[in-house]
Amino acid sequence: MNNMDIFVGGQWQQGRGPEMQSRFPGDNQVIATLNSASLEDVEDAVIAADMAWRMPSWRNLPAHQRAAILYKVSRLIDENCEALTQLQTLDNGKPWAEARGLVMSAAATARYFAAVCEVSGGELPPRRQPELMTISTYQPIGVIAAITPWNSPIASDMQKIAPAIAAGNAVILKPAEATPLISLKLAELFEQAGLPSGLLSVLPGKGSIVGDALVRHPLVKKISFTGGTNTGRQLAHIAADKLITTSLELGGKSPTIVLSDADLDIAAHGVCYGIFSSMGQACIAGSRLFVAKDIYSSFMEKLTQLTRNLIIGDPRQERVHLGPLISPSHRDSVRNYVEQAVQQGGKIRIGGTAPADPVLQDGNYFLPTIIEGLNNQSTVCQEEIFGPVLVVMPFDDEDDLIQQANDSVYGLAAGIWTKDYTRAFKLADALDVGTVWVNTYKVFSISTPFGGFKESGIGREKGLESLKAYMQQKSLFLALNPQPNRWCE
């Protein structure tokens, strides 16, 4: 690819910040060079966004006409599915099948919020006084700062842009520094769909410069962030100082639980997918596994064999299960966690190193890894690794199991494998997490809210309520039989 422009206030232009490169994680070769956004670009984008969302032509646009734009974006994504899949794979090394699923998810998200936009309305609270009627309405917030991660950019981008646009706002998207390409392409599709100029900007660059300037700008009225907990905490402080709302989807250290009555084949396949898909680079990755003692040996044999059969390689090829990690430094971080686990007494059952295949030496590959022999207090059980590393622990007491599963600063997701749904419901109720999967894992519905407990975040994405998260509520009081107020006499 040649040098690329960025999208500032509805205009394609060269960024005024430092040069940045996008590299394919499979071999670390440069696939695109562009200039990042500057502080001046941030200022221009915010000013344009604030003007655009206030324009009567947008503020007064009927909901079904805003929906029409999102429907068209959805169709454009479908029409360009293969090209977008290829770009997503180049951008972050996601295997082809997973990348295609993310592209299709983005199209579905645009369709869903188009439909929600058309049918959502205000509320008519119950009348408490015969002579008074009250109406509750929803209005846009204004300029939204949307900051997205590198692990699933097109899906994460759309989960913020679609409801914000459906609600009548303007959006400034700051994609992860490592993955700007798919976000810029998405801006092009919104432009083709007829979104008025200024309502969407895409500003690639460093979070410490571009992101910080964006969220601190006085005209930005909401922060929507998906990423690490430490950054989320900093953004929450900024939002608190500005008295604006936030949606924060942060880290996770999700427990998966295999009970003694589980179908071992179904559970093994689900656990394997839950941790090793996306190379473990997912906030919901099932990275802590608790297995009932009486089935531990037989279950681990199945899981180990499945892991051994996983294909690691160039993500552009079919039938590859695991591609590369996002960068050399991230691979080093994953390796360091594994070495630390061994130092603390852990035993590597499988994996634990980069693959020996010379074809993969230039990429950021790491073998799917299973570690045994540690307890829940170990570093690799308490800290988010964000890689293909699973720590397995046997249990024989369910009360102790619940205590261990909840013994984490995170509370994003969990998985339960059992044939007894009554037991599953009780266990799910006891887990301090925002999402629980039973006999499945890492499946989603755009109509079902998603978010975390504890340090895994604030607020929810997806579902009807996520549209209202990008709106502010206004109450109207209407006198049905106006009379002079006698207090004044």
Q: Where are the domains positioned within the chain? A: 3-249+455-474, 253-436
User: pLDDT confidence of 3, banded at 50, 70, 90?
Assistant: low
CA distances from 212 to 1, 205, 268, 312, 333 (A): 29, 11, 43, 37, 25
Note the pLDDT of residue 315.
97
Q: Per-residue pLDDT tens for 291-309?
A: 999 999 999 999 999 999 9
What is the CATH T-level fold of the domain 3-249+455-474, as seen in this structure?
Aldehyde Dehydrogenase; Chain A, domain 1 (3.40.605)
H or E segment and range at residue 274: helix 264-276
User: pLDDT confidence of 2, banded at 50, 70, 90?
Assistant: low
Residue linked to tokens 């990690």: 325
Note the pLDDT of residue 488.
87
H or E segment and range at residue 105: helix 96-119
33 pLDDT above the threshold of 90: yes
* 393 in Cβ contact with 377 (< 8 Å): no
Q: Per-residue pLDDT tens for 48-104?
A: 999 999 999 999 999 999 999 999 999 999 999 999 999 999 999 999 999 999 999
Structure tokens at 160: 């913020």
* 247 in Cβ contact with 225 (< 8 Å): yes
pTM of structure? 0.95
Residue in 98, 177, 249, 461 annotated catalytic? 249
pLDDT average, residue stretch 322-336: 97
What are the φ/ψ torsions at residue 130 (nearest 5 degrees)?
-60, -30
CA of residue 464 relative to chain centroid, distance: 17
CA atoms within 13 A on the CB side of 443: 8
Strand partners, 453: 411
What is the residue-averaged pLDDT of the chain?
A: 96
CATH of 253-436 among 3.40.50.970, 1.10.3720.10, 3.40.50.720, 3.40.309.10: 3.40.309.10
372 is catalytic: no
